Structure 1
Amino acid sequence: MIRLKAPAGYKIPPHWHTQAESLTVLSGALYLGGGDKMEASQAHALKAGGFHYLPAKAHHFAFSKAPTVVQVSGMGPFDINYIDPKDDPSGKH
């Protein structure tokens, strides 16, 4: 399980995970979209209490407009594979 506290304007570029994940918004709103490009117009808002299931290897992106807390659960280990390696903040591309 991972808990993410995202500030307003936070962006998670298009990526995928090896394992499926279940996402619950605890506060705020997370905007979630599918695909290989970050297109804000294609995202839908998950408000506090909202739940979304993402199957393994589903390409998706997310962003917040206001401070948001999200809980992500699934079978580990957790990984994140960016569609564009330049988006990887770890510098391991």
Structure 2
Amino acid sequence: MKTSALIIRTSYLIILLLSLFICFTSYAQENSVSINFDDLNLEWGGCPDFMPDGCNISVLQGDPSEANTDVLFKVPANSSIPMHWHTSAERMILLSGEMQVTYEGEEPTILKTGSYAYGPARKPHTAKCGDSGPCVLFIAFNEPVDANSGKPDE
């Protein structure tokens, strides 16, 4: 009986230690990220075709095809962003410029540099970058990154 209890306790201890080892090595492999939004080494890519000319996106952290990705979204001054929606909610901070954002059924909101905004998933919205220079927006997505023109099919 004592040998059986010892084997069970030893097995539990081994499982616990392996679990802790896996947890700690997973955390140890992930690196921190620190980037300035005007860093010349940022890699910028294009936006979906329905977005205005000069629109660019840079991935700061994560994989856009997976959950929890942070991006920079940049449009030139005086650009209008047509009605669109995202599968994911978006958390945003305007880093430069001035932007008017209008969510369907709500009054327009003016974002100034440093403003935070939250956009619910699947809620159609438009935006316009003002004339004070390009608008650069930090956006954190919970779900994979997408931008769909028009309104979602309900």
Q: TM class, shorter-chain normalised?
A: 0.7 to 0.9
TM-score by length of 2: 0.47
Where structure 2 has 5 or more consecutive residues not aligned to the other structure, the ranges are: 1-69
Give 2:85's aligned amino acid.
Answer: W
Displacement of 1:83: 0.8
Q: Does 1:80 align with 2:147?
A: yes
Q: Does 1:25 align with 2:97?
A: no
Displacement of 1:27: 1.1
Q: Which residue of structure 1 aligns with residue 110 of structure 2?
A: 45
Displacement of 1:11: 1.4
Q: Does 1:60 align with 2:125?
A: yes
Runs of 4+ off more than 2 Å: none
Q: Distance in 1 between matches of 2:77 and 2:128?
A: 9
The share of aligned pairs that are identical, in percent, is: 34
* Higher share in helix: 2
Cα RMSD of the aligned pairs, angstroms, is 1.7
Q: Which residue of structure 2 aligns with residue 13 of structure 1?
A: 82
Q: Distance in 1 between matches of 2:120 and 2:73?
A: 19
Where structure 1 has 5 or more consecutive residues not aligned to the other structure, the ranges are: 37-41, 85-93
Q: Deviations over 1:37-59 (max 9, x none)?
A: xxxxx522100010111111111
* Higher share in strand: 1
Aligned length: 79
Structure number with larger C-alpha Rg: 2
